[in-house]
Protein backbone atom coordinates (compact mmCIF):
# COMPACT_ATOMS: atom_id res chain seq x y z
CA UNK A 1 0.00 0.00 0.00
CA UNK A 2 0.90 3.66 -0.26
CA UNK A 3 2.86 5.27 2.57
CA UNK A 4 3.75 8.95 2.59
CA UNK A 5 4.44 11.18 5.56
CA UNK A 6 6.46 14.37 5.91
CA UNK A 7 7.86 14.95 9.40
CA UNK A 8 10.67 16.83 11.11
CA UNK A 9 12.47 16.77 14.43
CA UNK A 10 14.73 19.11 16.34
CA UNK A 11 15.15 21.00 19.61
CA UNK A 12 11.76 22.71 19.18
CA UNK A 13 10.02 19.30 19.10
CA UNK A 14 12.09 17.65 21.84
CA UNK A 15 13.67 15.61 18.99
CA UNK A 16 10.30 13.94 18.36
CA UNK A 17 9.20 13.60 14.74
CA UNK A 18 6.21 15.84 14.02
CA UNK A 19 4.27 16.52 10.83
CA UNK A 20 5.84 19.23 8.67
CA UNK A 21 3.50 22.22 8.54
CA UNK A 22 3.40 24.04 5.23
CA UNK A 23 3.43 27.82 5.50
CA UNK A 24 3.13 28.37 1.77
CA UNK A 25 3.14 26.32 -1.39
CA UNK A 26 3.37 28.79 -4.22
CA UNK A 27 5.71 26.85 -6.45
CA UNK A 28 4.43 26.33 -9.97
CA UNK A 29 1.79 25.15 -10.41
CA UNK A 30 0.40 27.55 -7.85
CA UNK A 31 -1.75 26.45 -4.95
CA UNK A 32 -5.29 27.73 -5.46
CA UNK A 33 -5.93 31.06 -3.73
CA UNK A 34 -6.80 30.75 -0.06
CA UNK A 35 -5.25 27.29 0.39
CA UNK A 36 -2.07 26.53 2.28
CA UNK A 37 -0.44 23.15 1.85
CA UNK A 38 1.54 20.86 -0.38
CA UNK A 39 0.63 20.71 -4.06
CA UNK A 40 0.34 17.06 -5.12
CA UNK A 41 0.28 15.92 -8.74
CA UNK A 42 -0.03 12.27 -9.77
CA UNK A 43 1.05 10.98 -13.19
CA UNK A 44 0.77 7.66 -14.99
CA UNK A 45 4.22 6.59 -16.16
CA UNK A 46 5.22 4.18 -18.93
CA UNK A 47 5.98 0.68 -17.74
CA UNK A 48 8.78 0.37 -20.27
CA UNK A 49 10.86 2.88 -22.15
CA UNK A 50 13.67 5.33 -21.63
CA UNK A 51 12.92 6.10 -17.98
CA UNK A 52 13.89 2.52 -16.87
CA UNK A 53 12.78 2.64 -13.26
CA UNK A 54 14.09 6.07 -12.37
CA UNK A 55 12.46 9.27 -11.15
CA UNK A 56 12.11 11.36 -14.26
CA UNK A 57 10.25 14.41 -15.44
CA UNK A 58 6.75 12.97 -15.20
CA UNK A 59 5.32 16.02 -16.96
CA UNK A 60 7.18 14.88 -20.10
CA UNK A 61 7.04 11.08 -19.78
CA UNK A 62 3.63 10.51 -18.21
CA UNK A 63 0.07 11.71 -18.26
CA UNK A 64 -1.33 13.73 -15.38
CA UNK A 65 -4.04 11.81 -13.54
CA UNK A 66 -4.98 14.57 -11.13
CA UNK A 67 -3.84 17.03 -8.52
CA UNK A 68 -4.77 18.10 -5.02
CA UNK A 69 -3.60 20.27 -2.17
CA UNK A 70 -2.82 18.38 1.03
CA UNK A 71 -1.96 19.99 4.34
CA UNK A 72 0.27 17.11 5.49
CA UNK A 73 2.10 14.50 3.41
CA UNK A 74 0.88 11.37 5.16
CA UNK A 75 -0.28 8.46 2.98
CA UNK A 76 -0.24 4.88 4.16
CA UNK A 77 -2.15 3.09 1.41
CA UNK A 78 -3.01 3.33 -2.26
CA UNK A 79 -6.62 4.06 -1.27
CA UNK A 80 -5.60 7.06 0.87
CA UNK A 81 -3.75 8.54 -2.11
CA UNK A 82 -6.79 7.87 -4.32
CA UNK A 83 -8.89 9.76 -1.77
CA UNK A 84 -7.10 12.95 -2.88
CA UNK A 85 -6.44 11.99 -6.51
CA UNK A 86 -9.17 9.53 -7.58
CA UNK A 87 -7.45 8.94 -10.94
CA UNK A 88 -4.34 7.42 -9.32
CA UNK A 89 -3.49 4.21 -11.24
CA UNK A 90 -3.05 0.90 -9.41
CA UNK A 91 0.57 0.62 -10.58
CA UNK A 92 3.16 2.49 -12.65
CA UNK A 93 2.59 6.03 -11.45
CA UNK A 94 4.61 8.91 -10.08
CA UNK A 95 3.90 11.78 -7.70
CA UNK A 96 5.26 15.25 -7.25
CA UNK A 97 4.86 17.22 -4.02
CA UNK A 98 5.98 20.81 -3.84
CA UNK A 99 5.63 23.34 -1.10
CA UNK A 100 7.61 25.36 1.39
CA UNK A 101 8.86 24.90 4.92
CA UNK A 102 9.65 27.83 7.18
CA UNK A 103 13.23 27.88 8.43
CA UNK A 104 13.45 29.76 11.73
CA UNK A 105 17.23 29.55 12.20
CA UNK A 106 19.96 29.47 9.56
CA UNK A 107 22.13 26.36 9.50
CA UNK A 108 22.64 22.92 8.00
CA UNK A 109 19.44 20.90 7.54
CA UNK A 110 19.18 17.22 6.69
CA UNK A 111 16.31 15.91 4.57
CA UNK A 112 15.60 12.18 4.38
CA UNK A 113 13.24 10.06 2.35
CA UNK A 114 12.26 6.46 2.96
CA UNK A 115 10.55 5.15 -0.13
CA UNK A 116 9.38 2.08 -2.02
CA UNK A 117 10.09 2.52 -5.01
CA UNK A 118 12.26 5.51 -5.96
CA UNK A 119 12.28 9.11 -4.75
CA UNK A 120 14.37 12.28 -4.99
CA UNK A 121 14.40 15.58 -3.09
CA UNK A 122 15.32 19.10 -4.19
CA UNK A 123 15.53 22.02 -1.75
CA UNK A 124 15.68 25.54 -3.20
CA UNK A 125 16.35 23.90 -6.60
CA UNK A 126 19.40 22.03 -5.22
CA UNK A 127 19.28 18.27 -5.80
CA UNK A 128 20.17 16.81 -2.39
CA UNK A 129 18.72 13.27 -2.11
CA UNK A 130 18.83 10.37 -4.57
CA UNK A 131 16.86 7.36 -3.33
CA UNK A 132 15.91 6.22 -6.82
CA UNK A 133 15.46 2.83 -8.44
CA UNK A 134 13.46 -0.34 -7.87
CA UNK A 135 13.63 -1.25 -4.18
CA UNK A 136 11.68 -1.90 -1.01
CA UNK A 137 11.61 0.70 1.75
CA UNK A 138 15.06 2.30 1.76
CA UNK A 139 16.34 5.54 3.28
CA UNK A 140 18.32 8.23 1.50
CA UNK A 141 19.44 11.52 3.11
CA UNK A 142 21.17 14.74 2.11
CA UNK A 143 22.10 18.02 3.79
CA UNK A 144 22.00 21.65 2.73
CA UNK A 145 22.74 24.99 4.38
CA UNK A 146 19.55 27.09 4.60
CA UNK A 147 19.04 30.71 5.52
CA UNK A 148 16.20 31.89 7.73
CA UNK A 149 12.97 32.14 5.72
CA UNK A 150 10.98 29.87 3.44
CA UNK A 151 12.68 26.94 1.72
CA UNK A 152 11.18 25.44 -1.45
CA UNK A 153 10.90 21.66 -1.21
CA UNK A 154 10.23 19.36 -4.17
CA UNK A 155 9.73 15.62 -3.64
CA UNK A 156 9.33 13.32 -6.63
CA UNK A 157 8.64 9.62 -6.30
CA UNK A 158 7.24 6.72 -8.22
CA UNK A 159 5.71 3.30 -7.86
CA UNK A 160 6.04 0.32 -10.19
CA UNK A 161 4.17 -2.69 -8.87
CA UNK A 162 3.66 -4.09 -5.38
CA UNK A 163 3.87 -2.25 -2.10
CA UNK A 164 4.48 1.47 -1.92
CA UNK A 165 5.92 3.71 0.75
CA UNK A 166 7.01 7.33 1.10
CA UNK A 167 8.21 9.20 4.15
CA UNK A 168 9.94 12.59 4.13
CA UNK A 169 11.68 14.05 7.19
CA UNK A 170 14.01 16.93 7.89
CA UNK A 171 16.00 18.09 10.88
CA UNK A 172 18.23 21.03 11.68
CA UNK A 173 18.78 23.98 14.02
CA UNK A 174 15.05 24.72 14.29
User: What structural domains does the chain harbor?
Assistant: 4-171 (2.60.120.380)
- In whole angstroms, give the CA distance from residue 91 to residue 163: 10
3 state SS of 60? helix
C-alpha torsion sign, points 20, 25, 31, 32: positive
The structure's pTM equals 0.76
pLDDT at site 26:
34
Ranges under pLDDT 70 in the chain: 1-6, 8-16, 19-36, 48-59, 61, 76
pLDDT at site 5:
62
pLDDT at site 48:
67
3 state SS of 11? helix
Amino acid sequence: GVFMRATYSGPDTGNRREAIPSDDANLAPAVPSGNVGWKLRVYSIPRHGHWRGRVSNFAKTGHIKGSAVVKVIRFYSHSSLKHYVPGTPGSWYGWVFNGMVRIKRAGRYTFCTISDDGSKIWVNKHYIVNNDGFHGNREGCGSIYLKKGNANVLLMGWQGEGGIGQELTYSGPD
